[in-house]
């Protein structure tokens, strides 16, 4: 299978997994909230394709795509969303905290910006070991206005650490246009120069373009060239969270971006037969995942795992 | 081997030994490398262990703790120095939202063996941000263990035990006592980390203290002796989880309890201790559990701090109030 077809199929799996998450939510089988990344799949898949298996990635609460792109199964993700014992975190993390440590996907973080310094720490650990691993932090445009973003860029630059900072600029900080609350036009890329870091603005909906940009940044990091800031221009197909119909976005803008759907862009470079076959495989994988997740036993242990010994003993 | 050390030197030697024992131990903080920290707790460690393991960070507490999380995720045991108590608040988000919760939310797949050292409390002629006692903020958060050392032996051993712990630990150091000397047996630890200890036995009233107030409580016990009152002083040492068994045992004997801390009284450790003692020892109590604490004000200007800080007289006044009940 050629690279593009493999990436297309992975994006198709992610798209369908998130559709399933939405349907399960509406059916009352997912509690809490979900933040769908539909429309942003190319960022996760293109970046993961550019990484070694032992490289580290950190994601945000909008992180389903980043988790599956690093090899977590749709079943384990959906089970986690449904708070099932077979979920990635035993059903205790939920949609916002998907973590697949076995695949070096070191977590999704729901406090905006908090994981950027963590990626710096993971990169530092690689540098201490001399392992040539790198760390990638994915974050939204909204994160660029919080202190942790700036602290992390400075730390990584000062210590010349192997980190790639990947901003998924989907134009909206939750419900507010990022342009209306940010002093620069390109919220991540325009800040990089303040930390003497190279930056690029990348078409985040073209998986091949994403892969190529991340490959270049990853190679620089691995060769001791330090961090890079990549700003991926993309768009979410849905609102910020499950309860947001996203009526604040003009319809022309939505239509323009829907016409640049990352799956469509990739499919246009593949044969119809290949695309149909990949779609069918993705459909089957996700349908099976839904059934398996539904059938899995519920999570247990609201009172366990507070401490490293597994207990929650609070009073002695 | 028994040495006489200051608390500051004992911490320094404890850190040194932890770094010798485990190459995964790394220290990070503002000015801790070349300078050795503003209180010189890390003096000489960068010279001996290198700039890779003793790191001078930018002034960026959120970034420092966040970086420590990333290191801990990959098997390191970072020890973060927060320069002064009041400087921890920029990192509060990372500590409370991430450090405390990741083991729980990952169902144990992720452990964060991080130690966050905080010199705390007043009495050094400093001002707010440099003299605060923020321990209750952390003790309130499930997933964090909170301890406070009060003497050189505990400083030496507790810092090593905290670093060896697989749980995240907020480690409070009594900054005004850094220069006080005491014996340290460097061969074996006298106590476990999460253990409260009767520091001075007595029979009339139980005084509970931790960190810098242990010395104050012991001085009060000596003074009370002249009045014919026998104070039992318990050094809590572990603020979360609390080790209540020795406390209950003591209060059942004495029938009276006084909690002393520098932090403001409102919703401080004293409130939790009073509640638990009342729940467990109600029929043994001769008087309500009383609190001798800092006032419910911001930490005052340096010239006013003596008015603010609990001292020997205020502890003895607490004892009088208990007996006058």
Instruction: Measure the CA–CA gap between A105 and A103, rounded to whole angstroms.
Output: 5
Task: Please indicate, yes or no, whether residues B125 and B81 belong to a single structural domain of this protein.
Answer: yes
Q: Are A82 and A27 in contact (CB under 8 A)?
A: no
Half-sphere exposure in the Cβ direction for A304 (13 Å, CA): 14
Per residue in A253-294, pLDDT (tens digit) is 999 999 999 999 999 999 999 999 999 999 999 999 999 999
Q: Where are the beta strands (DSSP E) in chain B?
A: 2-6, 25-29, 54-56, 77-81, 115-120, 145-148, 169-174, 181-185, 197-200, 205-209, 231-235, 238-240, 257-264, 290-294
- Give phi and psi for A30, each to the nearest 5: -115, 125
Task: Please indicate, yes or no, whether residues B23 and B158 belong to a single structural domain of this protein.
Answer: yes
Task: Please indicate, yes or no, whether residues B114 and B241 belong to a single structural domain of this protein.
Answer: no
- Pairs across A and B, CB distance < 8 A: 158
Instruction: Measure the CA–CA gap between A136 and A99, rounded to whole angstroms.
Output: 14
Instruction: Measure the CA–CA gap between B243 and B98, rounded to whole angstroms.
Output: 25
Q: Give the residue on B whose Cα is nearest the Cα of A115.
A: B66
Whether residue B191 is contained in a domain is answered as no
Task: Please indicate, yes or no, whether residues B175 and B61 belong to a single structural domain of this protein.
Answer: yes
**Residue B302 belongs to what domain range?**
197-323
pTM, 2 dp: 0.93
Whether residue B249 is contained in a domain is answered as yes
Task: Please indicate, yes or no, whether residues B175 and B202 belong to a single structural domain of this protein.
Answer: no
Of A20, A4, A8, nearest to A284 (Cα)? A20
Mean pLDDT for all residues in chain A: 96
DSSP bridge pairs for A176: A173
Instruction: Measure the CA–CA gap between B258 and A48, rounded to whole angstroms.
Output: 59
Q: Are A55 and A218 in contact (CB under 8 A)?
A: yes
- Look at residue A314 and tell me whether its pLDDT is greater than 70: no
Instruction: Measure the CA–CA gap between A101 and B125, rounded to whole angstroms.
Output: 47
| A74 inside 8 A of chain B by CB | no
Domains of chain A and CATH, by start = 3-315 (3.40.50.970)
| A176 inside 8 A of chain B by CB | no
Task: Please indicate, yes or no, whether residues B277 and B133 belong to a single structural domain of this protein.
Answer: no
| A181 inside 8 A of chain B by CB | no
Please compute the mean of the pLDDT values over residues A171-197 and round it to a whole number: 96
Q: Which residue has the tokens 């004992």?
A: B10
CB contact residues (below 8 A), chain B span 231-270, against chain A: 241-245
Whether residue B48 is contained in a domain is answered as yes
DSSP string for A257-308: HHTT-HHHHHHTTS-HHHHHHHHHHHHHHHHHHHHHHHHSPBP--TTS-SST
Pick the range with the lowest mean pLDDT from A62-66, A217-221, B300-304. B300-304
Q: Give the residue on B whose Cα is nearest the Cα of A136.
A: B70
Pick the range with the lowest mean pLDDT from A29-33, A120-124, B60-64. A29-33
Of A68, A57, A64, nearest to A33 (Cα)? A64
Whole-angstrom CA distances from A220 to A30, A123, A199, A229, A277 are 41, 13, 12, 12, 37
| A109 inside 8 A of chain B by CB | yes
Task: Please indicate, yes or no, whether residues B154 and B230 belong to a single structural domain of this protein.
Answer: no
Rounded to 5°, the CA angle B65-B158-B189 comes to 155
- Look at residue A69 and tell me whether its pLDDT is greater than 60: yes
Q: B81: which 2 tokens?
A: 């120095």
CA torsion B82-B85-B90-B96 (nearest 10°) is 90
At residue B292, the 3 state secondary structure works out as strand
Residues 6+ positions from B304 with CB-CB distance below 8 Å: none
Of A16, A167, A41, A34, nearest to A93 (Cα)? A34
Of B126, B141, B46, nearest to B83 (Cα)? B126
Q: Are A205 and A42 in contact (CB under 8 A)?
A: yes
Whether residue B190 is contained in a domain is answered as no
Whether residue B53 is contained in a domain is answered as yes
Per annotation, catalytic residue among B129, B130, B194, B261: B130
Residues 6+ positions from A171 with CB-CB distance below 8 Å: A141, A177, A178, A179, A235, A253
- If phi > 0 it is left, if psi is from -120 to 50 it is alpha, else beta; for residue B70 that is alpha
Of A311, A32, A89, nearest to B194 (Cα)? A311
| Number of domains forming the structure of chain B | 2
Whether residue B189 is contained in a domain is answered as no
Last residue of a domain, one of B154, B184, B214: B184
H or E segment to which residue A229 belongs = strand A228-233
| B57 inside 8 A of chain A by CB | yes
Alpha-helix residue ranges (DSSP H) falling in chain A:
3-26, 41-49, 64-69, 74-81, 115-129, 147-158, 189-192, 207-222, 251-258, 262-267, 272-295
| A135 inside 8 A of chain B by CB | yes
Instruction: Measure the CA–CA gap between B292 and B306, rounded to whole angstroms.
Output: 14
Per residue in A74-118, pLDDT (tens digit) is 999 999 999 999 999 999 999 999 999 999 999 999 999 999 999
- Look at residue A70 and tell me whether its pLDDT is greater than 90: yes
CA distance A147 to chain B (A): 8
Q: Which residues of A touch B67 (CB under 8 A)?
A: 117-118, 120-121, 124, 152, 155
At residue A78, the 3 state secondary structure works out as helix
Q: Which residues of A touch B194 (CB under 8 A)?
A: 316
Sign of CA dihedral B233, B238, B240, B244: negative
Whether residue B41 is contained in a domain is answered as yes
Task: Please indicate, yes or no, whether residues B19 and B163 belong to a single structural domain of this protein.
Answer: yes
% of residues, chain A, pLDDT over 90: 92
Q: Give the residue on B whose Cα is nearest the Cα of A97.
A: B105
Q: Are B100 and B143 in contact (CB under 8 A)?
A: yes
Chain B interface, best mutation among A124, A137, A161, by max B CB count within 10 A: A124
Instruction: Measure the CA–CA gap between B198 and B247, rounded to whole angstroms.
Output: 9
| pLDDT for the residue A246 | 92
| A194 inside 8 A of chain B by CB | no
| A143 inside 8 A of chain B by CB | no
Q: Give the residue on B whose Cα is nearest the Cα of A156.
A: B67
Task: Please indicate, yes or no, whether residues B161 and B263 belong to a single structural domain of this protein.
Answer: no
Contact B72 A121 (CB under 8 A): yes
Last residue of a domain, one of B184, B210, B241: B184
- Look at residue A316 and tell me whether its pLDDT is greater than 50: no
Q: Are A263 and A4 in contact (CB under 8 A)?
A: no
At residue B240, the 3 state secondary structure works out as strand
Q: Are B69 and B61 in contact (CB under 8 A)?
A: no
Q: Which residues of A touch B242 (CB under 8 A)?
A: 315-316
Whether residue B64 is contained in a domain is answered as yes
Q: Which residue has the tokens 């030994």?
A: B17
Contact B63 A135 (CB under 8 A): no
Last residue of a domain, one of B184, B205, B230: B184
CATH code at position B159: 3.40.50.970
CATH code at position B258: 3.40.50.920
| pLDDT for the residue A302 | 82
- Give phi and psi for B189, each to the nearest 5: -75, 130
Contact A117 B57 (CB under 8 A): no
ipTM above 0.95, yes or no: no
Task: Please indicate, yes or no, whether residues B133 and B222 belong to a single structural domain of this protein.
Answer: no
Grouped pLDDT means (10 residues each) for chain B, 325 residues: 93 98 97 96 98 95 97 97 96 97 93 98 92 97 97 98 98 98 97 98 98 98 96 98 97 98 97 98 98 95 92 97 95
Q: In a 10 Å sphere around its CB, with 0-12 CB exposed, 13-18 middle and 19+ buried, how is residue A315 labelled?
A: exposed
Task: Please indicate, yes or no, whether residues B211 and B276 belong to a single structural domain of this protein.
Answer: yes
Residues 6+ positions from A211 with CB-CB distance below 8 Å: A7, A46, A47, A49, A50
Of B35, B204, B169, B195, nearest to B95 (Cα)? B169
Task: Please indicate, yes or no, whether residues B178 and B214 belong to a single structural domain of this protein.
Answer: no
Active site residue B130: yes
């Amino acid at each position: 299978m050629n690279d593009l077809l493999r990436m297309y199929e992975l994006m198709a799996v992610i798209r369908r997994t998130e559709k399933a998450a939405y349907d399960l939510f509406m059916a009352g089988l997912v509690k809490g909230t979900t933040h769908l990344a539909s429309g942003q799949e190319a960022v996760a898949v293109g970046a993961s394709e550019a990484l070694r298996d032992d490289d580290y990635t950190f994601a945000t609460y909008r992180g389903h795509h980043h988790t599956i792109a690093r090899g977590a199964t749709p079943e384990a993700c959906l089970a986690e969303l449904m708070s099932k014992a077979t979920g990635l975190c035993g059903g205790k993390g939920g949609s916002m905290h998907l973590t697949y440590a076995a695949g070096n996907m070191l977590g999704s973080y729901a406090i905006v910006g908090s994981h950027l310094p963590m990626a710096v720490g993971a990169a530092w650990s690689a540098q201490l070991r001399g392992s040539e691993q790198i760390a990638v932090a994915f974050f939204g445009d909204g994160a660029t206005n919080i202190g942790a973003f700036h602290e992390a860029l400075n730390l990584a630059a000062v210590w010349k650490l192997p980190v790639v900072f990947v901003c998924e600029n989907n134009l909206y900080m939750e419900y507010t246009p990022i342009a209306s609350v940010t002093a620069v036009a390109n919220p991540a890329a325009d800040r990089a120069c303040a930390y003497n870091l190279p930056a690029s603005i990348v078409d985040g909906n073209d998986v091949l373009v994403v892969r190529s940009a991340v490959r270049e940044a990853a190679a620089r990091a691995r060769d001791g060239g330090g961090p890079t800031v990549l700003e991926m221009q993309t768009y979410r197909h849905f609102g910020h969270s499950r309860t947001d119909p996203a009526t604040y976005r003009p319809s022309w803008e939505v239509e323009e971006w829907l016409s640049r759907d990352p799956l469509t862009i990739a499919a246009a470079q593949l044969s119809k037969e290949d695309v149909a076959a990949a779609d069918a495989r993705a459909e089957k994988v996700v349908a099976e995942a839904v059934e398996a997740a539904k059938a899995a036993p519920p999570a247990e242990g609201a009172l366990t795992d507070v401490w490293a010994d597994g207990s929650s003993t609070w009073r002695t | 081997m028994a040495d006489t050390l200051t608390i500051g030197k004992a911490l320094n030697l404890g850190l040194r030994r932890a770094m010798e024992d485990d190459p995964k131990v790394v220290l990070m903080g503002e000015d801790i490398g070349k300078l050795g920290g503003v209180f010189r707790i890390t003096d000489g460690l960068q010279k001996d262990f290198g700039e890779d393991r003793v790191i001078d960070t930018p002034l960026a507490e959120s970034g420092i703790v966040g970086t420590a999380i990333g290191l801990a995720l990959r098997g390191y045991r970072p020890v973060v120095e927060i320069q002064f108590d009041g400087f921890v608040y920029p990192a509060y988000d990372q500590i409370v939202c991430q450090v405390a919760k990741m083991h729980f939310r990952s169902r144990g797949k992720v452990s964060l063996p991080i130690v966050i050292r905080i010199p705390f409390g007043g009495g050094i002629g400093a001002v707010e941000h440099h003299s605060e006692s923020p321990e209750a903020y952390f003790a309130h958060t499930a997933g964090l263990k909170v301890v406070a050392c009060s003497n050189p032996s505990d400083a030496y051993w507790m810092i090593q035990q905290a670093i060896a712990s697989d749980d995240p630990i907020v480690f409070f150091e009594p900054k005004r006592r850094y220069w006080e000397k005491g014996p340290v047996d460097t061969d074996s630890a006298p106590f476990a980390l999460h253990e409260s200890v009767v520091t001075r036995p007595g029979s009339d009233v139980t005084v509970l203290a931790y960190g810098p107030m242990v010395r104050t409580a012991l001085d009060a016990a000596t003074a009370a002796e002249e009045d014919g009152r026998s104070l039992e002083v318990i050094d809590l040492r572990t603020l979360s989880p609390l080790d209540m068994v020795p406390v209950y045992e003591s209060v059942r004997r004495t029938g009276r309890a006084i909690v002393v801390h520098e932090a403001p009284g409102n919703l401080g450790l004293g409130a939790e201790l009073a509640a638990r003692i009342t729940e467990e020892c109600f029929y043994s109590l001769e008087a309500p559990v009383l609190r001798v604490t800092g006032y419910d004000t911001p930490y005052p200007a340096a010239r006013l701090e003596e008015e603010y800080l609990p001292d020997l007289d205020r502890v003895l006044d607490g004892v009088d109030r208990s007996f006058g009940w």
